[in-house]
Amino acid sequence: MKKFLPHYSSGIVVKGFGRGSKELGIPTANFPEEVVNNLPQDMETGVYYGFSQVDNGPVYKMVMSIGWNPYYKNEKKSMETHILHKFDEDFYGKILKVVILDYIRPELNFNSLDELIDTIKSDIAIAEKNLNQSEFKSFQEHQFFS
């Protein structure tokens, strides 16, 4: 799993399934299919964390779900990025850059929406804490984001 990290991706933000903000209260930015298809073949599905940037704005911490989201039984693999920053507006059509640095957990199925939301909040807390470690700081200023 770590052999693929760090992994850099960028692409235009596209409309996702429309549940991140509305159903979960946790907005996500979605990459188009061609970006998802460019992930390393053997990269495990699950939840990752790292840094992200919209257009040429500030670099923020992020959590990303890669996979089929078993709770929703998705037909297509997705990369859904939750940026740990409150944006005032949607940014469909803008360029999203991410560096994926580490793995939190595999994809899971959930018995309820509340269980899913609690787990995502836990993932966010893990990313928030871990990204403060000095080993990750240089990625926030990486030339990829300039």
Residues serving a catalytic function are 80
Identify whether the C-beta of residue 47 lies closer than 8 Å to the C-beta of residue 79.
no
Is the sign of the CA dihedral 58, 95, 15, 2 positive or negative? Answer: negative
Q: Token pair of 47, please? A: 């939840």
**H helix runs in 3-133, sequence order:** 33-37, 113-130
Identify whether the C-beta of residue 47 lies closer than 8 Å to the C-beta of residue 65.
yes
Question: Look-up: residue for tokens 């709770």?
Answer: 71
Dihedral-angle region of residue 68 (phi above 0 means left; psi in -120 to 50 means alpha; beta otherwise): alpha
